[in-house]
Amino acid sequence: MPGPMIKICGVTTPDALDATIRAQATHVGFNFFPPSPRFLKLDDAPALAEQAEGRLTRVGVFVDADDAFLADAIVAARLDAIQLHGKEDPARVAALRARFGKPVWKVISVASPRDVAKADAYATAADFLLFDAKTPKGAALPGGLGLAFDWTLLRSYKGPLGWGLAGGLAPENVADAARSTGAALVDVSSGVEIGPGVKNADRIRTFCFNARNA
């Protein structure tokens, strides 16, 4: 059985993207949430989009963005998919999928079995789900904080959509995470960094190797 798909998220530089390509990840995440230390300016997106062309699936990460900003980012980064990490309800998710004609991923923030159950509401609205750790109340960012959740909460999840795992993943635990959850995709951001937003090529390489060989 092949390992899961691998997404390196929050890539902002050509060097980090090159490391992601060389490590044989399958997806790259471009973060378009301005408060994030991994925010990618629209002016910087076209060059990275070109570099990733034909090598990685380009996923744009958004938090309650408006349609105009989404449209600009989709063009600038040549996005292959849209990841929604805010409070977007199923109707909003379905509307964006219809408007832009791109696969839409919805992040489900998890701290309890009730949170996992919320995924069912997106079964016909989204194309893919990403289970992430719920951030503390008052946190400035909805993700990228290196927080994990109890992966056993996903053992009974049998929804109709493909799904991935995010939150607190790192080279040291990704193999166990992939094995214990059976996730179709593993997603990492801060776990392959040596500082906020600063990707490390060695950690990217080790993460991808360990995920593939889980």
Cα–Cα distance for residue pair 206/201, rounded to 1 Å: 9
CA distance 209 to 201: 12
Residues facing 84 on adjacent strands: 62, 106
Of the listed 43, 115, 132, 208, which one is catalytic? 132
* Cα radius of gyration (the chain): 16
Eight-state DSSP code of residue 62 = E
Which two tokens mark 100?
Answer: 């832009």
Q: Of the listed 9, 15, 43, 176, which one is catalytic?
A: 9
7, 67, 120, 126, 131 from 181: Cα distances, Å: 16, 34, 18, 21, 11
> Is 132 annotated in the active site?
yes
Give, for 108, the enclosing helix (H) or strand (E).
strand 104-110
Q: Minimal CA–CA distance to 170: which of 116, 117, 209?
A: 209
Active site annotation includes 208: no
Q: How far apart are CA 214 and CA 209, in angstroms?
A: 9
How many other C-beta atoms can be found within 10 angstroms of the C-beta atom of residue 43?
A: 8
Supply the residues annotated as catalytic: 9, 132
